[in-house]
Structure 1
C-alpha cells in the first residue's frame, strides 16, 4: 500500500509558492523599512517594520521545513551517489551562476556612486574579495548554499529513514509528536537550547558559514521537516491538531509584540534592556516554530489538492527566487527616485518585479535547455522545447 508521504503533496507545493511570493513582498518592503539594506528609499515607514519583524521569524524557517520534507521525497529510489549528483546539479550550478551573473547587479547598485558604469564594476567581482569589504557574494542565494550543505549533512539520516530498520525510530517519533503539546514544545525547546549555547559566541546572521547559531537554527527546521514527513501518521497528525497550533501561534504574539513595542517606546516593561532583548529573542524562537507548524497544518488540511496551474508554478518558482531580489534592487533604485508616495512605490516595485521575472522566465529561461540547466531546472526534449519557445514568445 502506498503511504501518504510517497504521494505528491500538493499542500507543500502551494505553501512553497506562498513562501516565495512572501519573499517578493518582504524584500520589496526592505526598501521602505527603517532597517538598512542594499538600496533604500529616502523616506521610510515604521509600518513596514511591524509586519516584517513578525514574518522575518518564520518565512525562511517555513521554506527550510518544506525543503526538508522535499529532500525526503528527492532521495526516492536514488542511490546516495545519485542523490548527491542531483543536489549538485540543482543547487550548486545555480548558486555558481547566480554569484557571477545574478548577484553582481545588486552590489553595483548599492555602490553605484563608486563606479562610472556596471562594466567598470563587474571585473572587481573576480577579485573574489568577500562582501561587504569586496564585491563577491551570494547575497540572497545563501539559502541555496545552506540547503546544499544541509542536504549532504542530512544524508545519513535520510538514508536511514528510507530503510525498514528505521521503523522503531519512526514509531518512537510518532508516539511523541502526535501529541500536540509535544509537537509544539519539544522541537521549540531543542531549537532554543541550540541558540542558548551558540548565540553568545555567534550573535549575527551573516550567511557566510560562520554564523553557526543561525546555521544550526535553520538546519533544525530542515531536519524536523524531514523527520515529520518521513512518517505518514506523524505527518497526518499535524492537520488534526491545527487549531491548537493556531492558538499557540496567536498567543505568542502577545509577548512578542509586547517586547517589540517596548523597543519602539510605546511602553516600558519592568525589565532591564538586556533582559527585554533576551526575552524577545526567546519569544521569537517559539513564534518561529509555532507559526511554521500552524501554516503546515492548515496547508495540509485545506491545500492538498491539485490544480492545472500548479505544475507550471512549481517549475517556475526556483528561477523566480533566484531572480527576484536582483530585479527588486535594480528597478527599486530608479523608482525610489520618483515623486510618489511610499505605498505607490511599494506596489509598483512589487508587481513590476513579478512581471519582469515572469517575462525573463517565459522568454529566456523556460524554453532553452542550456539556460534551464543554469537555473537548476530539468531539461525538456527537443520537441517540447520547441513548443515552449513558441508558447513563451507568444506570452511575453
Structure 2
C-alpha cells in the first residue's frame, strides 16, 4: 500500500508547531508554565486558545489511525510489544536523562532548589523529596513533563488492542462501516456529540492534570479521538469526503471559535444553563470541525512525496523528546540578559531548533544504541529509502 504522505506531513507540522506553542507559553500572560518571561502579553491568549482546543486531539487521532494501519502487518502480541518498546523506552530514558534539566531550572527560578545540577540529578533519580512547589510534579519526586503524551498513548494503544477482537467482529465491523459512511453535515456534527457529552459530564469534575491516574476528562476526550482515528483508517471514501468538506469545515471552525471566544469572554458566572451549554457546544464543535478542516486540507495538498519529508519524519521523535528541555535551558540562560520582547523569544526559538537539529543529526541518528532511546529503529540508514514504505509509526 502506498504511503500516506499527508498524514506524515501533518504529524511533522503538528510537532513543529508544538515547539512554537511551548515557546509562546513563556510569554502568554495568565497561563502557568515552568518558566515565565518578564515580557508576557495577554493578547497571546487568543492564538494559543485557537490552537489549544484541538492540537493534542489531532495528534491522538493520527496515532489511532496509525494503529489501524499497523494492525494489518502482524499479530496483536507483536504489535503490543513493538508499541510498548517504541513508547516506553523513550519515556523512561527521557525522564531519567532528557527531562531533569526542566525541573532543575524551574526549581532554581522558584528559589526552592539549590544550584548544582549534579547534586540535583542524584536527588531526582532517588525520588526527592522536594520542597512544596519546587517544580511541576514535585510531589511525585520526578516528572515526565511534556512526555506525558507517551504514557497516555501507550495506555490507549493497549486498551484498543484488547478491544480489537470485538471491533473486528461482525458487530464491530458494522460500527466501523456506519462511521465510514458519514457524509456532509453528519460527518461535521455527529462525532462532536460524544466530546460534548464528556465535556459536560467530566470537565469541571476532573481538570486536566497530565498525571495519568485520575485525569478522566482528558482520557475521555483523547481516547475518543484516538478511537476515531482507528475507525477512520485509510478508507478512500471518507478521506475524499474530508477533502470535499474542507471549504465548509474551515469557515465552520473559524465561526465556532469566534462565537466560542465571545461566549467565554462575556458569559457571566451566573449565566443560564442553556447559554452555558451553547458555549460548551461551540467548544467541541470547534474542536471537531478544526480537525476535519486540517485533515481535509492536508489530504488535498500534502499527500505527495515532498523531498524533505523522509528526513523530517525521522526527526520528529528525537525533536519531541528534546525540544522542551532545550527550550527551558536556553530560556533560563537568555531571559536574565534583558534582550527585549523581540530578540529574546527569537533567540530562544532559534537556539532550541538549532539544538534539536544538531543533536539529532550529529549524535542521535548516527549512534546505533542511542536511536531506540529516542524512538528510532536501531538500523542507521545512510541513504533515503525510496521504495513504498509503511505508514509512519515512529511516535504516532
Aligned-partner Cα distance in 2 for 1:102–1:181: 45
**Maintained 8 Å contact 2:196/2:280:** no
The two structures, once aligned, show a CA RMSD in angstroms of: 2.3
Q: 2:10 matched to which residue of 1?
A: 15
Aligned-partner Cα distance in 1 for 2:59–2:301: 19
Unaligned stretches of 5+ residues in structure 2: 129-135, 385-396
Question: Normalising by the residue count of structure 2, what TM-score does the alignment of the two structures yield?
Answer: 0.87
Change (3 A) 1:134 1:151: closer
Aligned residues: 372
The structural deviation recorded for 1:98 is 0.6
The structural deviation recorded for 1:131 is 1.3
**Maintained 8 Å contact 2:152/2:212:** no
**Maintained 8 Å contact 1:209/1:215:** no
Q: 1:80 matched to which residue of 2?
A: 76
**Maintained 8 Å contact 2:26/2:36:** yes
Q: Deviations over 1:248-297 (max 9, x none)?
A: 101102212213443xxxxxx46736967765544322221111111011
Aligned-partner Cα distance in 2 for 1:270–1:107: 37
Change (3 A) 1:95 1:28: same
The structural deviation recorded for 1:58 is 1.1
Aligned-partner Cα distance in 1 for 2:347–2:165: 46
Change (3 A) 1:134 1:165: closer
Unaligned stretches of 5+ residues in structure 1: 1-5, 263-268, 389-396
Aligned ranges 1:244-255 → 2 under 5 Å: 244-255=248-259
Q: Deviations over 1:300-332 (max 9, x none)?
A: 011100022211110110110111011110001
Question: Are 2:102 and 1:106 aligned?
Answer: yes
* Equivalent residue in structure 1 for 2:189, among 172, 185, 188: 185
SS of alignment partner, residue 337 of structure 1:
helix
Question: Are 2:61 and 1:62 aligned?
Answer: no
The structural deviation recorded for 1:95 is 0.4
SS of alignment partner, residue 306 of structure 1:
coil
Question: Normalising by the residue count of structure 1, what TM-score does the alignment of the two structures yield?
Answer: 0.87
Aligned-partner Cα distance in 2 for 1:371–1:270: 53
Q: Deviations over 1:130-172 (max 9, x none)?
A: 9132540111000011011111111145456668886544332
SS of alignment partner, residue 140 of structure 1:
helix
Aligned-partner Cα distance in 2 for 1:168–1:278: 32
Instruction: Considering fraction of residues, name the structure with more helix.
Output: 1
Change (3 A) 1:217 1:68: same
Change (3 A) 1:277 1:51: farther
